[in-house]
Amino acid sequence: MAFVIMDTCRDEKAGECVSICPVDCIEEGADQFYIDPNTCIDCGACVAACPVSAIVDENDLPAEQEEQLEKAESFFV
């Protein structure tokens, strides 16, 4: 998984990331959006489009946001 949407999306859920994604890899869940790691092409367009800076590279994910990675992985199973 290249990018992870952190829990700050839960409060905002603006959706700019969905409309900008060239491969439609971002899907809306019950509480926030999730990025499909099998479809994402790592272009980073979603990172720039997010108004609350909720999308980060997996390697830059803060320790307190680790559960967001697990939630995203289980969302696409």
What average pLDDT does range 7-19 have in this prediction?
Answer: 92
Interatomic CA distance for residues 47 and 54, integer angstroms: 8
Q: pLDDT at position 77, please? A: 86
What average pLDDT does range 43-56 have in this prediction?
Answer: 96
User: Given a cut of 90, is residue 61 above it in pLDDT?
Assistant: yes
What average pLDDT does range 29-33 have in this prediction?
Answer: 93
| CA atoms 23, 30, 72, 3: torsion sign | positive
Architecture of domain 3-75: 2-Layer Sandwich (3.30)
Q: pLDDT at position 52, please? A: 94
pTM score: 0.90
Interatomic CA distance for residues 39 and 25, integer angstroms: 5
Contact by Cβ (8 Å): 41, 12: no
Domain ranges of the chain: 3-75
